Structure 1
Amino acid sequence: MADNRMKFQLDSTMQFPLVEIELERGESAYIQRGSMVYHTPSVQLSTKLNAKGSGLGKLVKAVGRSMVSGESTFITQAISDADDGRLALAPNLPGQVMPLYLGEKQYCLNDGAFLALDGSAFYTMKRQSVGRALFGGQGGFFVMTTEGEGTLLVNAFGSIKKIELHDQEMTIDNAHVVAWSSDLDYHVHLEKGFWQSVGTGEGVVNTFTGTGDIYVQSLNIETFAHVLSDLLPKNG
């Protein structure tokens, strides 16, 4: 897009709003697989390998990314061949959608937070330490990290709150983390060791240090899943 800013609308009258993206001729966006609700005839959806490069090397990167991070080998691209293209998206989970503007700031994303990204920007998979990979929920040995200029749409389970750090430290339950500034250092670990974590029920946490922003969600999908599991009839 000419100004590297996605044109989109969120209907504030809806409790769980759809996101409607406007695309001019030749403009494109990458979207979460299965998120499309509707689009105009000028918008075409296509499947792309989820990696940079070309030929066999691109395929190897995409398959390798899928194997080590659990991310899909493919990504959906929407592109318009007219100036009146419109595309509506809905996240997989009920909750808030928020734009993050890329350029001077870049972000890392937790699993499931990605909804859409300008065609003028992209993301890569940043290698994590073994400790982060074993404890964290951010894609195994790799974490999604943005590049370029444009607009990133993230979604959450529940509402989103922004936390600003100024050469500070903050510990957050890993299941509540949506996205964070890529400049921040982070350490994924058990809150107080194994037995203390079992006792408090906090489990895996993420300690961030430095200067930057963290976006957290108000609900915890893991806790919600346990609640539902307790209510379901047991086999036998």
Structure 2
Amino acid sequence: MKYEIRYKPAFATVFLTLQPGDRITAEAGAMVSMASRVSMTTQFSGGLISALLKTFLGGESLFVNEFKNATGEPLELVLSQGTIGDVAVVELNNNEICFQPGAYLAHTPGIRMGVSWAGFSSWLSGEGLFKLKLSGKGLVFFGGYGGVTQRRVNGDLVVDTGHLVAYDPQIKMNIQMAGGLVGSVTSGEGLVNRLSGQGRIYLQSRSVDGLVRFVRSKI
């Protein structure tokens, strides 16, 4: 299928052209518009048990929607995320990628959805006990609040807990204080995520927690 990501980076939206027989699975509520002859079916995201874990322990939606073109001509489908920000796409070739809660948007056939244990450090940072993991061969669309940047980790890298969007599964995470107890509180940084290993990560330029703190100070 053909796709184009428009209105980057603040209001990124995915315009897809579904060829006859094409189908794509997307997060519940991601559809902006679609041709009237595009069919849509709703299903559990990755199976019932996986969907329940993602929903109640990982902060993800219980359902996903599958869109399919069963006609003989190309049809348009438009998808977008719920937050203001950028959308990126990664092509998997029989490998895996992990997402923080709310980052996943859609995937093409050949991709499998699942969950894996994220650890108590992830839970302490507010990211949930389980992480969403996609594997297989195909395209995965995901988004972030603000602009999305890809970086390579080769050793150690410290990032704010609210800015990590996606990462290769071989990247290890360790949640810790930004400094000492007093420094972590007075600096406004609180907890940080010390990443280690080798692989890709994706960072969002803005933090939803930062937005909440800003709005709270104005109320």
Map 1:182-221 → 2, pairs under 5 A: 182-221=169-208
Question: Amino acid of the residue matched to residue 117 of structure 1?
Answer: H
Question: Amino acid of the residue matched to residue 106 of structure 1?
Answer: E
SS for the counterpart of 1:112 is coil
Task: Give, in whole Å, the separation in 2 of the partners of 1:30 and 1:125.
Answer: 17
Task: Give, in whole Å, the separation in 1 of the partners of 2:117 and 2:9.
Answer: 38
Map 1:1-236 → 2, pairs under 5 A: 7-11=2-6, 16-52=11-47, 59-82=48-71, 83-137=73-127, 140-166=128-154, 168-232=155-219
TM-score by length of 2: 0.90
Task: Give, in whole Å, the separation in 1 of the partners of 2:113 and 2:58.
Answer: 14
Deviation at 1:163, TM superposition (A): 1.3
1:12 to 1:183, Cα distance in 2 relative to 1, 3 A: same
Task: Give, in whole Å, the separation in 1 of the partners of 2:53 and 2:13.
Answer: 33
Cα shift readout 1:64-105 (whole Å, capped 9, x = no counterpart) = 442222322211221211241221012211211111111154
Number of residues of Structure 1 aligned to a counterpart in Structure 2: 218
SS for the counterpart of 2:159 is strand
Identical columns (%): 24
SS for the counterpart of 2:85 is coil
Deviation at 1:118, TM superposition (A): 0.9
**Partner of 1:3 in structure 2?**
none
Task: Give, in whole Å, the separation in 2 of the partners of 1:63 and 1:105.
Answer: 24
Contact 2:81 2:105 in 1 (8 A): yes
Deviation at 1:62, TM superposition (A): 2.8
Contact 1:45 1:78 in 2 (8 A): yes
Gaps of 5+ in 2: none
Deviation at 1:194, TM superposition (A): 4.2
Deviation at 1:42, TM superposition (A): 2.5
Structure with greater strand share of residues: 2
Structure with greater helix share of residues: 1
